[in-house]
């Protein structure tokens, strides 16, 4: 893989978990920070596109010194956290659909816990260390996060609904019931983010049917006046698939999903823990074969 037309200023799209972030999701490799900052100084545009909410991504945005659009919930929330010159885009699940899902009798009887989020607030049915850590529910104090009964307190649309099930054996029945909502929601199991269900329960996430990182890639390319064929993107899991497949230079992480690697233009030579994004991007922007 080699970059053509080195004089062009690129749009560089980066996923966070498993890509720019090292294991544990609390920091970036120094090489990745160095190269992304240098790319910005050289006139390229770096944008974060993540499944994380705003509260769990804004500190990395600030650490990189970005002023670009920030995308959360895999594209359900696109906004301009610094300049505020881009009208916030939110692609939610309707309140009617949220209530229809959680009040379905089979789903209601199968869930161990429920998390409902909009771009700036979240309600979880009962305290749950796994959900708090995985979805970074208490990372930022200015978001509203409550432990409460969602059947009683939730109002309005949602960017993300998470169902954790009492046992893995219940998953097929829940997925069958969710078929009734297939025209409005996208259903994903926990493995889409590289998460492997634990032995006691399974996780199902619901988002707006139209949401994916490929759709966002087109929006960002249009906004920054870039040909999608000139865009560079890095990802590691199947929620990155549409983005990696669409852009001209889609790069899968060495530690990434094999199905993603199969459609990528390139694969990093180092993992996320080893600064894979930084080392690969540095050579790519220098015109080297990688």
Taken as a whole, the chain contains a residue count of 290
Contact (Cβ atoms closer than 8 angstroms) between residue 217 and residue 228:
yes
Residues 157, 161, 165, CA angle at the centre, nearest 5°?
Answer: 150
The position carrying tokens 């696109």 is 78
Tens-digit pLDDT profile for residues 209-257 = 999 999 999 999 999 999 999 999 999 999 999 999 999 999 999 999 9
The predicted structure's pLDDT at residue 137: 75
Could you give the dihedral angle defined by the CA atoms of residues 235, 241, 245 and 251, in that order, rounded to the nearest 10 degrees? 20
The C-alpha atoms of residue 64 and residue 35 are separated, in whole angstroms, by: 10
The C-alpha atoms of residue 172 and residue 233 are separated, in whole angstroms, by: 34
Tens-digit pLDDT profile for residues 87-111 = 999 999 999 999 999 999 999 999 9
Topology match between the domains 11-90+211-285 and 95-208: no
The predicted structure's pLDDT at residue 141: 53
Residues 216, 219, 224, CA angle at the centre, nearest 5°?
Answer: 125
The C-alpha atoms of residue 156 and residue 136 are separated, in whole angstroms, by: 22
For domain 11-90+211-285, give the fold: Rossmann fold (3.40.50)
User: What H or E segment, with its residue span, contains residue 215?
Assistant: helix 213-223
| Token pair recorded at residue 284 | 């790519």
- Residue from 51, 40, 118 nearest 82 by CA: 40
Task: Tell me the whole-structure pTM to 2 decimals.
Answer: 0.91
Q: Where are the domains of the chain?
A: 11-90+211-285, 95-208
Which CATH architecture describes the domain 95-208? Answer: 2-Layer Sandwich (3.30)
């Amino acid at each position: 893989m080699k970059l053509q037309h080195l004089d062009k200023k690129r749009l560089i799209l980066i996923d966070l978990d498993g890509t720019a972030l090292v294991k544990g999701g609390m920091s970036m490799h120094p090489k990745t920070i160095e190269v992304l900052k240098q790319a910005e100084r050289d006139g390229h545009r770096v944008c974060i596109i993540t499944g994380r909410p705003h509260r769990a991504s804004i500190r990395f945005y600030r650490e990189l010194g970005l002023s670009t659009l920030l995308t959360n919930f895999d594209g359900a929330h696109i906004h301009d956290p610094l300049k505020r010159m881009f009208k916030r885009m939110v692609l939610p699940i309707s309140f009617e659909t949220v209530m229809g899902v959680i009040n379905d009798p089979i789903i209601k009887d199968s869930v161990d816990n429920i998390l409902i989020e909009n771009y700036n607030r979240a309600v979880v049915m009962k305290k749950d260390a796994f959900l708090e850590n995985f979805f970074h529910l208490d990372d930022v104090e200015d978001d509203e996060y409550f432990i409460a009964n969602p059947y009683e307190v939730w109002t309005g649309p949602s960017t993300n609904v998470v169902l954790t099930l009492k046992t893995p054996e219940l998953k097929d029945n829940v997925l069958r019931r969710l078929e009734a909502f297939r025209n409005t929601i996208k259903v994903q199991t926990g493995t889409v983010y590289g998460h492997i269900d634990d032995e006691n329960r399974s996780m199902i996430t619901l988002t707006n049917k139209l949401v994916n990182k490929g759709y966002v890639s087109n929006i960002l390319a249009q906004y920054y006046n870039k040909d999608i064929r000139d865009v560079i993107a890095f990802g590691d899991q199947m929620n990155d698939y549409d983005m990696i497949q669409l852009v001209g230079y889609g790069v899968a992480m060495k530690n990434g999903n094999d199905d993603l690697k199969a459609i990528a233009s390139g694969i990093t030579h180092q993992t996320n823990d080893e600064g894979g994004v930084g080392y690969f991007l540095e050579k790519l922007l220098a015109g080297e074969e990688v």
